[in-house]
Amino acid sequence: MARLLVVHHSPSLALESMLAAVTEGASNEHIEGVEVISSAALSTGAASVLEADGIILGTPANLGYMSGALKHFFDTIYNPCLDQTAGRPFGVFVHGNSDTNGALLSIEKVTTGLNWRLVTPPVCSLGQVDDQVLGSCWELGAVLAATLMS
């Protein structure tokens, strides 16, 4: 069975609701043969990434960057995963209250270094999380899971 790892830092209801929509989309009725594993960024190690066939990253924007928790995740897994995870399909969701560009850019830099493959546009949300954002998150999860099916 393929594995989709959702690595997230979800310190607020906004992030929690986006995460829930992502995992719901990834587990929808049309997906077969894909196990969805949700894992807090602060406690996700390299072994989980090495075992994953695809990855979704979720974070708040913090001080113009990804959250410290997601940065810690990358600091932990970067070297052990550098050679062995090249080409992994991945997706991203980011929430902020004013500007998510710096957070997204910081993730793009690290994932470019890892040579991961972005398979669907990032979902970036500012302020209140509405149904449109949740729908985009659902799609993000569904696309990543469908990618692993094929």
Ligand X SMILES: Cc1cc2nc3c(=O)[nH]c(=O)nc-3n(C[C@H](O)[C@H](O)[C@H](O)COP(=O)(O)O)c2cc1C
Where does this chain bind ligand X (CB under 6 A)?
12-15, 60-64, 95-100
Residue (59 or 147) nearer to ligand X, CB? 59
Minimum distance from CB of 108 to ligand X (Å)?
A: 16
Cβ closest to ligand X, residue 12 vs residue 115 = 12
Shortest separation between residue 64's beta carbon and ligand X, angstroms: 4
The C-alpha angle 11, 17, 23, rounded to 5 degrees, equals 105
Distance CA 53, CA 90 (A): 9
Between 79 and 98, name the residue whose CB sits nearer to ligand X.
98
- Considering the complex, what minimum distance in angstroms separates the CB of residue 57 from ligand X? 14
| Burial (CB count within 10 angstroms: exposed 0-12, middle 13-18, buried 19+), residue 81 | buried
Q: For residues 28 and 141, what is the distance between their CA atoms, to the nearest angstrom?
A: 9
